[in-house]
Structure 1
Amino acid sequence: MLITFKSKAAADIVMYKEHAQRILELLDKDIERGIIVKEDAANAVATIEEAIADSRTHSVSGLVQHDVAEHPQPNEDGDHEHAPIENISFAARAFPLLEMLRAAHEQGCDVVWGV
C-alpha cells in the first residue's frame, strides 16, 4: 500500500506505508491520514533528524541477517544463494519527507496525507 504526502511547499512524496509508518510513529501520527501543521514542522524535523542519528549508530541486526539466510531466493542460475545484502538506511527512506518538512517549515505550509 502507498501513502502520498502533500504540501504546497514541495512536490508530492509517495512512500510505501510500511516505510512511512516508522516516521509517523516517531511523530505520534496516524498512518491512514493526518496533518503536520506548519507550527509543528520544526519539531518534526528535529525528531526525524534525531532518529536518523540514532539509526546510524546501529548496524543491521542479527535477526535480519538470520531471516535472509533462512529464506534464500534463487539467482539467475537457479542457485539458492543470496546476493550481498543491500540495506536501505532509515536516513535514505526518511530524506524526502524530511526535505518536505523543512520546506514546509520555511514556507509556512502544512503537510498532509490520506486526504
Structure 2
Amino acid sequence: MLITFTSKAASEVLMYKEHAKRILDLLHKDVDRGVITAAEAPHALQVLEKEIDESRQHSVSEDVERDVHAHHNEHGDDTDHEEIEVVSFSTRAYPLLEMLRAAKAGGHDVVWGV
C-alpha cells in the first residue's frame, strides 16, 4: 500500500506504507493519516537526520547478510541470483526530508491519509 505525503511547499511524495512506518514511528505519528505541522518540522528534521546518521554507521543489517549467505554455496559463488542492492534508510527518507525542509522554510504543514 502506498502513502501520499502532500504539502503546499513541495510536490507529492509517494512511499510504501512499510517504509513510511519506520519514519512515522520515529516521529510518533500514525501511519494511516496525520499531519506534521510547520511548527513540528524542525524537530522532525532533527529526528530524521539523526536516524540517517546512525543508519549510515550500520549499512548492512545482519538479516540482509544472513539472507545473502543463505543464497550462496560454500564457495561463495552464485549463478542463480542477482547481486543484492540495499536501499538505505537515508535514500528512502530523502524525498520526505526535502519536503519537510521546504515545509519548514515556507511555513506549511505536511499531511497524509486525508
TM-score, normalised with respect to structure 2: 0.88
Q: Percent identical across equivalent pairs?
A: 58
Compute the displacement of 1:71 (Å): 6.0
2:4–2:113 CA contact under 8 A, matched in 1: yes
Instruction: Give 1:82 deviation, angstroms.
Output: 1.8
Task: Tell me, in whole angstroms, the C-alpha distance in 2 between the residues paired with 1:10 and 1:85.
Answer: 32
State how far apart, in whole Å, the 1-side matches of 2:54 and 2:30 are: 23
In structure 2, the partner of 1:33 is: 33
Would the aligned equivalents of 2:32 and 2:113 in 1 still touch at CA under 8 Å? yes
Report how far residue 64 of structure 1 moved: 1.7
Paired with 1:71 and 1:19, the residues of 2 have a C-alpha distance of: 25
Distance in 1 (CA, whole Å) between partners of 2:68 and 2:21 is 22
**Counterparts of residues 36-115 of structure 1 (less than 5 Å):** 36-70=36-70, 81-115=80-114
Unaligned ranges ≥5, structure 1: 73-78
Report what 1:16 is aligned to.
Answer: 16
Distance 1:89 1:41 in 2: 22
Distance across 1 between alignment mates of 2:11 and 2:105: 15
Counterpart code for 1:106: A
How far did 1:61 drift? 1.9
How far off its partner does 1:65 sit? 2.2
Partner of 2:75: none
Counterparts of 1:112 and 1:97, CA distance in 2: 11
TM-score, normalisation: structure 1? 0.88
User: How many matched pairs?
Assistant: 109
1:83 positional shift: 1.4
C-alpha deviation, 1:63, in angstroms: 2.0
RMSD, aligned CA: 1.6
Deviations 1:48-97 (A, max 9, x none): 0000000000031222222344468xxxxxx8722111011100100000
